[in-house]
Amino acid sequence: MTHKIILDTDPGIDDAQAIFFAFQSPDIEVLGLTTVYGNVPVSMSAQNALTLCELANQDIPVTKGVGMPWVGPESGYAHFVHGDDGFGNINVEPSKRELDPRSSAQFIVDMARQHPGEITLVAVGPLGNLALALRLEPQLPKLIKDVKIMGGAAFVPGNVTPVAEANIWNDAFAADIVFSADWDITMFGLDVTNSAPFSPEFVDKLAEVNPVLGGFVQKSSQFYIDFYSQNREDRVCFFHDAMPLAYLVNPDLFELTEGHIRVATDSLNKGQTAVAPIGSTASPLWLEAKKIKVATKVNHPQLEKLYIDTYAL
């Protein structure tokens, strides 16, 4: 079965790896890339998405979305992780393609109305576009098949604060809206993404099997690997964003836990995604909270094989 998806993204090095995986997979049909601020400002995010589409020879809509958190000041961005250009400072030639004139939120709503019950939203950045789409179309959860989110940290520490992961921390109020909506959500947070470090040999293999797309990932990832290898004896990186896409292709690779989620928006705990597993509490405040599924384990060797095999297609 082919999965129709809209990929909501903030490219970003691991976003690039995820986007190329989605383009290469015969089991995924990408209807469009909706961009959001996060790793980089939204204008750069949109430009980078156009560039990735051109590199992959994919003629699909790319939209520019929200550039600010739902509440609070502009983000500080993650150039120290992804480089000044979002691609590890490799000076890639930017695409001259044009953006779709619609906002990211409007595109999501339009596609959901056009393909009711068929689309999976895969969100791998802050959740402002999804929150705004819910405001534009309150019936959106009835029109969307399901939602896969790379973000959060249910049972492990955060990577921005002791309790918060970057995507959720970047727009906690939007995340609260999205996680409270009445649609089927599976969360791929640091619980699973940090459990699967990738060696430099992994990106070398991607380049070997796919010199264009894999070669881009290999080249851009050197900056990314340098960041993740600080204070470690081994050189590693973490490709967070492709995991929800891998789940669509082969869900048997993952173990999931179901629970009730609360997203914190107070200043101290902003962005915390606290999850109470089913049966772990009798508190009404938790039992009334939205139920989601959380990925907690992945078969790392098989996941790596899936990425390489898909890039080789």
* Strands 254-263, 273-277: pairing kind: antiparallel
Q: Which residues pair with 6 in a beta bridge?
A: 32, 121
Active-site residue, from 10, 15, 176, 191: 10
Can you give the C-alpha Rg of the chain in angstroms? 18
Contact 6, 113 (CB under 8 A): no
Task: Tell me what pLDDT residue 141 has.
Answer: 98
Provide the residue range defining the domain that includes 265: 3-311
Q: Say if CB 123 and CB 147 are below 8 A apart.
A: yes
238-287 tens-digit pLDDT = 999 999 999 999 999 999 999 999 999 999 999 999 999 999 988 998 99
3-class state of residue 184 by DSSP: coil
182 has catalytic annotation: no
Q: What is the DSSP string of 33-80?
A: EEE-SSSS-HHHHHHHHHHHHHHTT----EEE---S-SSSSPP---HH
Indicate which CATH number applies to the domain containing 74: 3.90.245.10
What CA–CA distance (Å, rounded) separates 175 from 193?
19
Residue 178: the pLDDT is: 98
Check residue 1 and give its pLDDT.
Answer: 78
Q: How many domains in the chain?
A: 1
Catalytic residue status for 240: yes
- 15, 100, 191, 240: the catalytic one is 240
Mean pLDDT by runs of 10 across the 313 residues of the chain is 96 97 98 98 98 98 98 91 95 95 98 98 98 98 98 98 98 98 98 97 98 98 94 93 98 98 97 96 91 98 98 97
Q: Identify the pLDDT of residue 282.
A: 84
Residue recorded with tokens 């899936």: 306
Percent of the chain whose pLDDT exceeds 70: 100
Residue labelled with tokens 């699909």 = 60
Report the half-sphere exposure of 57 (CA within 13 A, side-chain side): 3
Q: Between helices 104-114 and 128-136, what is the axis angle to 10°?
A: 60
pTM for the model stands at 0.97
Instruction: Identify the pLDDT of residue 262.
Output: 97
Place of tokens 């129709």: 4
